[in-house]
Amino acid sequence: MSAADAARVVVAVPTRGRPRMLAALLASLDRLALEDGGPSVEIVVVDNDPAASAAPVCARYRGGGGRFPLTRLEEARPGVVHVRNTAAAWAFARADRVAWVDDDEEVTPGWLSALLAVERRFGADAVAGPVVARFEAPRSPWAGEGLLDSPRHRTGAQIRTARAGNLLLTRRGAERAGAPLFDPGLALSGGEDHELLARVLAGGGVVVWADEALVVETVPRSRQTLGWILGRFAHYGTVNAGLALTARPGALTRGGIAAEAVLVAAAGAARTLRGLPRGRAAVARGLRQVAYGVGLVRGLAGARSASYRATDGG
């Protein structure tokens, strides 16, 4: 990348009550491998914790010779959407690209360069990458490899949805989506990343996958119980059903959700039975599909998730 083409990028980090994980993320950002003449990088951390738990972490980073300029903002309204919108307003006032990463993740050295390279190569409005789970030890017997990983695609594949925990958004992509960037109505439920990308695509945008832009999500013991795993996948089903009904209300959408719920739950039940001889991790893979189907039915019935009222893993 030449100096003339160098991007100015803000790495945006929403956080609430996870100071230890936030410190690990900031340390991983300092290990980024950037080309000579590459992007000018700033970090913005938006603290959603009334106790301001991110303040000492950010102060240590700035005072301890952190590699990049770091700004800490506060957002008093509870909910990740408000945090993301606060970060976006600050970031797009300074840069044409925002790279999102969550406070329970760590980036790999080539993460940002891979996102930017794919954006340039494909003229993308947004670029997403994989999120791979790393289970804290001692690992629960329910927590098998790949259980919580995001789906992966070939680099350059055009995709329709992805997680904001590993997402590069350009100013052009944000303009295609319109304001507010993230839907405040999803502040406590989540799903704001999927809804945003749907609007980018509806505005004529292109969303592309960068499989080399890897981030690692720390999964604490509190997230390795069968109850948490099933609750998480039921949450996904509830949120996705709600988003689908909001985007295209009507009998056809409702019928499609109902059919998907039946098929997914049935496939999950069969997988659960096949997994019984192989142990709890195999059983959990089947039960997560059943839970997702149950979540779809809940969303179809009008239920709404509020999973972001509390923070775990802090």
- Asked whether residue 148 falls in the same domain as residue 262, the answer is no
- Asked whether residue 242 falls in the same domain as residue 104, the answer is no
Give the model's confidence band at 113: pLDDT under 50 very low, under 70 low, under 90 confident, else very high: very high
Lowest mean pLDDT among 34-43, 81-90, 116-125, 151-160: 34-43
Q: Does 77 fall in a domain?
A: yes
Give the model's confidence band at 187: pLDDT under 50 very low, under 70 low, under 90 confident, else very high: confident
Structural domains counted in the chain: 2
Q: Which of 202, 222, 242 delimits the end of a domain?
A: 222
- Asked whether residue 100 falls in the same domain as residue 170, the answer is yes
Whether 197 shows a pLDDT value over 70: the answer reads: yes
Whether 32 shows a pLDDT value over 70: the answer reads: yes
- Asked whether residue 120 falls in the same domain as residue 235, the answer is no
Share of the chain above pLDDT 90, in %: 88
Q: What is the pLDDT of residue 2?
A: 36
- Asked whether residue 152 falls in the same domain as residue 255, the answer is no
Contact 41, 34 (CB under 8 A): yes
- Asked whether residue 168 falls in the same domain as residue 265, the answer is no
- Round to whole Å and give the CA distance between 66 and 47: 18
- Asked whether residue 146 falls in the same domain as residue 160, the answer is yes
Closest-CA residue to 75 (of 182, 1, 163, 173): 182
Whether 168 shows a pLDDT value over 80: the answer reads: yes
Q: Does 141 fall in a domain?
A: yes
Tokens of 111: 């993460």
DSSP 150: P
Once rounded to an integer, what is the mean pLDDT over residues 282-308? 90
- Asked whether residue 64 falls in the same domain as residue 110, the answer is yes
Tokens of 265: 């739950």
Once rounded to an integer, what is the mean pLDDT over residues 233-259? 94
| CATH (domain of 32) | 3.90.550.10
Q: Does 314 fall in a domain?
A: no
Q: Does 130 fall in a domain?
A: yes
Q: Does 108 fall in a domain?
A: yes
Q: Does 146 fall in a domain?
A: yes
Which 3 state secondary structure label does DSSP give 107? strand
Q: Does 267 fall in a domain?
A: yes
- Round to whole Å and give the CA distance between 90 and 44: 8
- Asked whether residue 37 falls in the same domain as residue 122, the answer is yes
Q: Which of 174, 206, 222 delimits the end of a domain?
A: 222
- Asked whether residue 186 falls in the same domain as residue 248, the answer is no
17: left (phi over 0), alpha (psi -120 to 50) or beta: left
Q: Convert the pLDDT of each residue in 263-292 to its tens digit.
A: 999 999 999 999 999 999 999 999 999 999
Q: What is the pLDDT of residue 312?
A: 62
- Asked whether residue 187 falls in the same domain as residue 229, the answer is no
Over the chain, what is the mean pLDDT?
Answer: 93
Domain that holds residue 268: 225-309
- Round to whole Å and give the CA distance between 59 and 80: 22
- Asked whether residue 215 falls in the same domain as residue 229, the answer is no
Q: Convert the pLDDT of each residue in 63-81 to its tens digit.
A: 998 999 999 999 999 999 9
